[in-house]
Amino acid sequence: MGCGLSAGELGEKILAALDQAAQMREGCLETAGEYRWEEIVRKVEEHYEGALDHRAPSSSGR
């Protein structure tokens, strides 16, 4: 039972996969950077600051 590829074809597929992985590396690192704690904190703070900016004035005058 084999994969149906010759040794040359299999080698080509492996090289193509390695080349594609190298090209995807930058995008993967950029996406991973979005999950750094510094970035998460920045986004959470931005969200809450925006909510505070858009809240209705309280009736107590605060």
| Residue 39 three-state SS | helix
Which pair of tokens denotes residue 45? Answer: 């703070």
Q: What is the pLDDT of residues 18-44, one digit of tens each?
A: 988 878 888 889 899 889 999 999 999
- The CA distances from residue 28 to 19, 32, 47, 51, in Å, are 14, 6, 25, 31
Query: In the chain, what are the domain boundaries?
Result: 7-53
What's residue 26's pLDDT? 86
Q: pLDDT grade, residue 3 (50/70/90)?
A: confident
H/E element holding 10?
helix 7-33
Neighbours of 10 (CB within 10 A): 13
Q: pLDDT grade, residue 55 (50/70/90)?
A: confident
pTM score, whole prediction = 0.45
pLDDT at 57 over 60: yes
